[in-house]
Amino acid sequence: MDTNVRPETMARIQTKELADAFIAEQVKDIRAQVGDKKVLLALSGGVDSSVVAALLIKAIGKQLVCVHVNHGLMRKGESEEVIEVFRNQLDANLVYVDATDRFLDLLKDVADPEKKRKIIGGEFIKVFDEESKKLEGISFLAQGTIYPDILESHGVKAHHNVGGLPEDMNFELVEPIKLLYKDEVRVVGKALGLPATMVDRQPFPGPGLGVRCLGAITRDRLNALREADAILREEFANCGLADKVWQYFIAVPDFKSVGVRDNKRYEGWPAIIRAVNTTDAMSATIEEIPYPVLHTITNRITAEVEGINRVLLDLTPKPVGTIEWE
C-alpha cells in the first residue's frame, strides 16, 4: 500500500474527538518508529512544523531536537517569536542557527524560481546534516509535510522534500501529518493545546521571502519586502481581516518605476498585495479588501518603506494563478 496516498475511508478531521484519535494513533506510530533514538526537526514556526513539533514532544519528549534556521528570508520578528514560544514557553529542545549570510550569498544573482527553491532546500539539508553531526544518536528527520505537498510535488513545487531528498542523506523520515489537509492540521494543533496565535497563523512557504522577493534577491529589496509585509500584517490585524483571510502577503518584483517623493523623481519597486482564502490550498478565492484599508496600507508602505513607491493588488484566483508568485 502506498503510504503517501490518503485512504478513501479516512474521515475528514473536523472535531476534537477525531483529532484526539489521530493524535493517539500518531503518538503510538512515532514511538514504534523512533524507539529510543533522537529526531531532528526543522522548526520554522509555521503551522505545520509547529504541530509536528507538538506531536513529537507528546510522543518522545526531549528525544526531539528542534532546529530553527534563520535563513535571512523570515518575516519581520519571526525568529524571535519562534525562540520565545518554543524555547521559553514550551521548553522544547531548541537549537537556533543564524545562517543569513550563508543563504543570501548562495542566492546572489539567482533569478530562476526553481533554482532558488532548490538552493534553499538543499542548503537546509546541509545545515541539518551539520547540526546532526554535533549531536549524538540522531537517526530521524521529522518534516511538516502535508497532503497538498505530496499532491503538488510532481512538477509544481521543488522546495518540498517529497521524492527530492538526496540519496546520501543519513536520516529516515518522520512525517506524522503527511495525509492531512491544512484545515485538519489546525484542528489537530488545537487538540494538542497549541495557542491559537500559532495554530491559526497563516502558512508560510519553506523558502520564505525568497519566493516573494521575485527574481534575483538583493538585500535592499529583501529588506523593503520584509518591512512592507509587516505593515500589511499589522493593518490586517487592526481592521479584523487577519481572522478572515487564510493567507496574505506582499511580493516585490525585480523592476522599478518612476515616482515622486519630496518633489523629486524617485525610482522604486512596486509592492504587490496578495490576499486569498482556501480550505485545502488546492484552489483559492480572492478576499475583498475595503478601499479605506487599501489606502491606509498604501500610504504607510510608500511613506515608511525605503525603496517602494507603488502598491498593487493581485486579483487572480487559483486556478489560474498559484498562491505564491514563484
Q: pLDDT tens across 221-252, in order?
A: 999 999 999 999 999 999 999 989 989 999 99
User: Could you give the CA distance from residue 153 to residue 57 in angstroms, rounded to a whole number?
Assistant: 28
Confidence of residue 270 (pLDDT cuts 50, 70, 90): very high
Which amino acid is located at 258 in the chain?
V
Model confidence pLDDT, tens digit, residues 167-187: 555 679 999 999 999 899 999
Which CATH number does the domain housing residue 236 bear? Answer: 3.30.300.10
| Domain limits for position 138 | 16-199
153/246 same-domain check: no
pLDDT at 63 over 90: yes
123/219 same-domain check: no
Model confidence pLDDT, tens digit, residues 84-133: 878 888 788 999 999 999 999 999 999 999 999 999 999 988 887 788 78
> Burial of 277 by CB count in 10 Å (0-12 exposed, 13-18 middle, 19+ buried)?
middle
Residue 145, in any domain of the structure: yes
Query: What phi and psi, each to the nearest 5 degrees, are found at residue 11?
Result: -70, 145
149/246 same-domain check: no
pLDDT of residue 32: 97
pLDDT at 296 over 90: yes
44/168 same-domain check: yes
Looking at 156, 178, 199, the residue that finishes a domain is: 199
29/104 same-domain check: yes
Average pLDDT over residues 148-164: 58
92/122 same-domain check: yes
91/179 same-domain check: yes
Looking at 145, 171, 199, the residue that finishes a domain is: 199
80/219 same-domain check: no
191/223 same-domain check: no
Q: Are 275 and 251 in contact (CB under 8 A)?
A: no
Per the model's pLDDT, the better-predicted residue between 299 and 198 turns out to be 299
Count of domains in the chain?
Answer: 2
Confidence of residue 1 (pLDDT cuts 50, 70, 90): low
Mean pLDDT, the chain, as a whole number?
Answer: 90
Residue 105, in any domain of the structure: yes
pTM over 0.85: no
168/223 same-domain check: no
Q: Which residues pair with 318 in a beta bridge?
A: 284
Residue 242, in any domain of the structure: yes
Model confidence pLDDT, tens digit, residues 69-86: 999 999 998 898 888 878
Model confidence pLDDT, tens digit, residues 117-128: 999 999 988 887
> Burial of 166 by CB count in 10 Å (0-12 exposed, 13-18 middle, 19+ buried)?
exposed
67/166 same-domain check: yes
pLDDT at 253 over 90: yes
Q: Please calculate the CA angle 177-178-179 and round it to the nearest 5 degrees.
A: 95
Confidence of residue 161 (pLDDT cuts 50, 70, 90): very low
User: Could you give the CA distance from residue 319 to residue 82 in angstroms, rounded to a whole number?
Assistant: 33
pLDDT at 59 over 60: yes
Residue 49, in any domain of the structure: yes
Which CATH number does the domain housing residue 162 bear? Answer: 3.40.50.620
Average pLDDT over residues 305-309: 97
Confidence of residue 162 (pLDDT cuts 50, 70, 90): very low
Average pLDDT over residues 143-155: 81
Residue 29, in any domain of the structure: yes
Residue 33, in any domain of the structure: yes
Looking at 145, 170, 199, the residue that finishes a domain is: 199
Lowest average pLDDT, out of 118-122, 214-218, 269-273, 292-296, goes to: 118-122
Lowest average pLDDT, out of 23-32, 36-45, 213-222, goes to: 36-45
Residue 41, in any domain of the structure: yes
> Burial of 308 by CB count in 10 Å (0-12 exposed, 13-18 middle, 19+ buried)?
buried
Residue 320, in any domain of the structure: no
Among residues of the chain, what percentage have pLDDT more than 70? 94
83/171 same-domain check: yes
Average pLDDT over residues 28-57: 92
